[in-house]
Amino acid sequence: MTRDIVTDDIVIAASILSADFAKLGEEVRAVDQAGADWIHIDIMDGHFVPNITMGPNVVKAIRPYTKKPFDVHLMIAPCDPYLADFAEAGADMVTVHAEAGPHLDRSVQLIRSLGMKAGVALTPSTPESALEYVFDKLHRVLVMTVNPGFGGQSFIPEQLNKIRAIRQMIGDRPIHLEVDGGVHLQTAPLAAEAGADVFVSGSGVFDGGDYAGNIAALRKAAMSARADA
């Protein structure tokens, strides 16, 4: 099934880390109906990051609640032993961290061989040069604008230079540039102006309960920066 399309459009990926875990399936359906383009799923292991969330069994359980693409952000180390489980659970795209192990190229090749789109994430202290030798195998790059592990943190503005540099590296390749962490109405335009086209938001989508209003406002904020460019 093809659920991932690379377009020139702004993509809003709702991060279910901020959802009510007691009714996760309904929350996924709700953000789908509220206009989210992708469902962003944060997988944390209490080892690579200081928090624990969910595994492939939960991804599988929420898969029937939407046809929107599942954008799985792995904050686990090692990741290779679990990639097939996420593919089987219904992940469309899997992003691994460049910092999560010594064999990034192997992880990227494995994701692709399992039929999923491949992404690499960089924590705030990792330079864009970490992408150099895997770049042409990627469908997306995820720039973390907070230190990974928790929702609701503040956007780190120094990451805007990294976003600009990666936008230059991408050129006309069909690679999404995803920004994750502290993405709100004030920061989405900055990231868009720097070159991001996928906007992950947890608290910005879920806080206050007006998912449709929040998603529409985020999209409008990101698009306004593009129109100004």
Ligand X SMILES: O=C(CO)[C@@H](O)[C@H](O)COP(=O)(O)O
Catalytic site positions: 42, 180
Q: Is 105 annotated as a binding residue?
A: no
Residue 42 assigned as binding residue = yes
4, 11, 12, 18: which one binds ligand X (CB under 6 A) = 18
Residues 56-75 that bind Fe ion (CB under 5 A): 73
Question: What is the CB neighbour count within 10 angstroms for residue 127?
Answer: 11
- Does 152 contact ligand X by CB under 6 A? yes
Window 51-90: contact mask with ligand X (x via CB under 6 A) = ----------------------x-----------------
Give me the 24-43 binding string for Fe ion, x by CB under 5 A, dash otherwise. ------------------x-
Nearest Cα to Cα of residue 146 among 96, 200, 220, 107: 200
8 A C-beta contact, residue 36 and residue 12: yes
The distance of closest approach from Cβ of residue 142 to ligand X in the complex, given in angstroms and rounded to an integer, is 8
Query: Under rule CB under 5 A, how many of the chain's residues touch Fe ion?
Result: 3
Tokens 């969910």 sit on residue? 54
d(C-alpha 37, C-alpha 14), whole Å: 8
As beta bridge partners, residue 180 has 144, 200
Contact 63, 38 (CB under 8 A): no
Which residue in the set 179, 180, 191, 205 belongs to the binding site for Fe ion (CB under 5 A)?
Answer: 180
CB 115 within 8 A of CB 87: yes
Q: Are 210 and 1 in contact (CB under 8 A)?
A: no
Residue nearest to Fe ion (CB): 73
Q: Output the smallest distance, CB 83 to Fe ion, in A.
A: 17
* Interaction of residue 40 with ligand X, rule CB under 6 A: yes
Backbone phi, then psi, for 39, in 5-degree steps?
A: -105, 115
Q: Which residues bind Fe ion (CB under 5 A)?
A: 42, 73, 180
